[in-house]
Amino acid sequence: AIVCGLLAETPDLDILVSYDDPVDAFVLHRGWSHSLLVQAALTPLFGEAMVRFFTVLRGQRPATYLAVYLCLSTHALLDALTIYGTQLLWPLWGEPFAVGSIFVIDPLYTLPLLVAAVWALCLGQWSRRIGTVIALGLIISTAYQGWAFIAQQIVTGRARAMLEGADMEPYRLLATPTPLNSYFWRVLALRNGHYLNIYLPVFGGPEQITAYRHPRGVAMAPCLSGNGAFEKLAWFSRGYFRLDWRQNEVVFSDLRMGLTPNYVFQYAVAQYPIAKTRKGAMPPLPTAPPRRLGGLGGAWEDIEWLAANLFLGPAIRPAEADARIDIAALAQPPEVGISSTDCKAPGKITP
């Protein structure tokens, strides 16, 4: 059990690979080591090692090989259900799979498996009873994944119906659960120069929904043509990103992971020199070595906000309060923020 537990973690050893570029470290994680094809090729290597090391397995080579492959592949398949992205078919297909139906940490999924595993490790030998417990843990956890996928379809349908009712189609929609649960969701609605964060539970009426509108700053995207870091990030995020000025840097934020404005993955991808040219004009937007920006703010406020929406009813998210819009006002034209495409820094740069 311990060996298989360690084996199940081997796909994540790719984080030990050192990259000079932080963007490569981001987009190449969950790559070849998470490929079901690579894992199938490595299964005989790990499986045969286990058969030769453990005497009890020497007459069970097919079952051992199958167990090894399940340890590796279920890791990758579970990762693909999160929103990050997993290259399940590398090298035949480079596009990451990212269903987004479950948060990366969900206690309700983990606990049934944890209870069964700890119980099994505490026993001296196998029994039919522990076999039943383990099977039950697998059934419950798998059923929970099924529920999360169905919940994702429900909230996506509710958000789409709301936008259609406000004559706001077409939008690109992406539904992801808020942290640590599968009942309260964020639907990310993308359209041209702005995006909506729509927060809603799986069940409930329109009064349970809150929405916030933000600029995307995508008018700056043509100015980043040829910027390798930006192009990689835009591809990996599947277009769900925003661009902002911070001091003299252009910052890329992946909208899928984290909550506005505290996104988990933010990178400075271009930079203006502080000094201006002799004529006072800004030079063309240059490429600078990409830099990951760290630090998440408002964690406690978000915990209180999440708890309120889970147990007490709709609550306004403090970090987005200024961007809140009424559901009835969704059809009003938004202010999309940065709209210039002259590749110059704005007159007032956001600190």
Ranking 185-194, 205-214, 329-338 by mean pLDDT, the lowest is 329-338
- Average pLDDT (302-320) is 92
Tens-digit pLDDT profile for residues 180-201: 999 999 999 998 889 999 999 9
Whole-number mean pLDDT of the chain?
87
Structure tokens at 89: 């078919």
Which pLDDT score, from 0 to 100, does residue 233 have? 96
Higher-confidence position of 285 and 227: 227
How many Å apart are CA 181 and CA 160, to the nearest integer?
22
Q: Taking CA 233 as the corner, what is the angle to CA 333 and CA 84, rounded to the nearest 5 degrees?
A: 90
C-alpha distances in Å from residue 304, one per residue of 209, 266, 313: 17, 24, 12
The CA distance from 58 to 261, in Å, is 55
The structure's pTM equals 0.88
> Cis link prior to 261 (omega < 30° from 0)?
yes
DSSP, collapsed to helix, strand or coil, labels residue 298 as: coil
CA distance 14 to 4: 18
Output the pLDDT for position 124. Answer: 76
Q: What is the mean pLDDT of residues 202-231?
A: 91
pLDDT single digits (tens) 54-102 = 999 999 999 999 999 999 999 999 999 999 999 999 999 989 999 999 9
Residue 31 burial (CB count, 10 A): 19
Regarding predicted confidence, which is higher, 92 or 279? 92
Q: With both helix axes pointing from N to C terminus, report the angle between 107-122 and 128-165 in degrees, rounded to the nearest 10.
A: 170
DSSP letter (8 states) at residue 256: T
The pair of three-digit structure tokens given for residue 180, joined into one six-digit string: 């640590």
Given a cut of 60, whether residue 239 has pLDDT beyond it is yes
CB 34 within 8 A of CB 87: yes
pLDDT value for 276: 43
pLDDT tens-digit series, residues 243-275:
998 888 899 999 999 999 999 999 999 887 644
Question: Directed axis angle between helix 36-53 and helix 61-80, to 10°?
Answer: 140
Mean pLDDT of 302-331: 87
CA distance 185 to 321: 18
